[in-house]
Amino acid sequence: MREILIDLKALKENLQYIKAKAGVPVLAVVKADAYGHGLIQCAKAASEAGADYLGTALLEEAFTIREAGIKTPLLAWLNPPGLDFKKAVSQDIEIGVASLAAFDEVNAIAGAKIHLKVETGMGRNGFSDEWPELLNRDLSKVVGVMMHFARADEPNEIQNKNQIANFEARVSELKAKGINPIRHISNTAATLSNESAKYDMVRVGLAMYGMSPLGRDHNLKPIMKVRAKLVVVKELPAGHPIGYGATVITKEATKIGIVGVGYADGIPRNAVGAGVTFNGQSAPLIGRVSMDQIAVDLGSNTEAKSGDWVTVIGENYDIYDWAKACQTITYEITTRISGRIPRTYIES
Ligand SMILES: *Cc1c(COP(=O)(O)O)cnc(C)c1O
């Protein structure tokens, strides 16, 4: 018995907070199964809460949104040439391109709406060497121009300013060709920290799920909670090894709880220093994360027994704690946690 609780009311409140803060239209990013929270449910909730656009990395993700009957304006931006762009256009999916080959394919389709992704310093997908040649094409189907920050979570880094300057230069070149597309460059971190980067729309993922890349933010509420039942609770004496590699030996007699979540469920194996919450009490992880289970130290005085619920993510160990314990970022924890655990949607 395990479950991921997803609070869609919290998602809506987070989005409304972001909308008010941004003061410009908001594209709600729902790629990667809505960062592990469930693509369709989150895309619907975001639309209901007033998202002006939805955004995905993959065209397949965009198709899934349309198949669910969601009609919100929709942009997919990670597109190699050779995809089914005709189908995308027929479903009114706007298409991000970053290569001439993809541009030419999409540009040949009547009614296509193109967003140009430009290189400004991220060194990832965005027009760079092909840009001058692109400027000689018919650009009448271009409706958007976008870039992505490499260091938006470090607001004082000069690279942010440099990227904006490079972006401005690309926009001017488009203007000189008579093209005035909507400009959108800000992710969550930039939306929360950079007043001069909002332009015509912001693209927000993480904040909608209740987290900030800048650290805990009390205006946002994480919408994911993971809980599981204790499979076994048992007393072990001092000197007892725990788990693979016997990386921990009990120092004193204690009660160990076995919780049925492991790295196959997206709990990273390198977790050290996280734990679960029983009845408001912290029970730290003890020993290695296994494929299907973890062991936690409930303490010798615990009243916990097998079959009781513990909160794995949420309460005393939240997503930030788990990210820190796994030497990663909150994004990676939620996108991976979805594994085998069923999701329950609530509107608290
Ligand atoms: C994922 C992504 C975003 C959203 O980033 P957050 O930090 O989650 O807000 C915005 N733009 C692009 C291009 C992305 O790939």
pLDDT on residue 339 = 79
Number of other CB atoms surrounding residue 54 within 10 Å = 27
> 149 alpha carbon to ligand 1 midpoint, in Å?
9
* Averaged pLDDT, 219-247: 97
- Contact in structure between 222 and 314 (CB atoms under 8 Å): yes
What's the confidence (pLDDT) of residue 348? 75
- Do 300 and 253 form a contact (C-beta atoms < 8 A)? yes
Tens-place pLDDT, residues 171-195: 999 999 999 999 999 999 999 999 9
- In 3D space, the residue among 267, 265, 317, 313 whose CA is nearest the CA of residue 288 turns out to be 267
Candidate from 203, 223, 329 with most ligand 1 atoms within 8 A of CB, to mutate: 203
Residues with catalytic roles: 31, 244
Cβ within 8 Å of residue 66, ≥6 positions away? 74, 91, 92, 93
Q: What is the pLDDT of residue 196?
A: 93
Mean predicted confidence (pLDDT) in 150-168: 97
Q: How far is CA 25 from CA 50, 53, 155, 192, 199, in A?
A: 9, 8, 22, 14, 9
Element (H, E) at 226: strand 224-236
Mean pLDDT over each residue of the chain, to the nearest integer: 97
Which alpha helices (DSSP H) does 114-157 contain, by range? 131-134
| Tens-place pLDDT, residues 291-311 | 999 999 999 999 999 999 999
* Burial class of 345 by CB neighbour count within 10 A (0 to 12, 13 to 18, 19+): middle
**41 pairs with which residues across the strands?**
none
Using DSSP's 3-state secondary structure scheme, residue 271 falls into coil
Q: What does the pLDDT average to over 266-285?
A: 97
Centroid of ligand 1 to alpha carbon of 222 (angstroms): 17
How confident is residue 222, by pLDDT bands cut at 50, 70 and 90? very high
Pocket of ligand 1 (CB under 6 A): 29, 31, 57, 77, 148, 187-189, 203-206, 213
CA angle 346, 63, 122 (to 5 degrees): 90
* pTM (2 d.p.): 0.97
Is 205:18 a contact under the CB 8 Å cutoff? no
Amino acid at 30: V
pLDDT for position 205: 98
In tens, the pLDDT along 28-39 reads 999 999 999 999
Please, what is the angle between helix 59-67 and helix 39-48, to 10°? 70
CA 62 / ligand 1 centre spacing (Å): 15
What is the three-class DSSP state of 29? Answer: strand
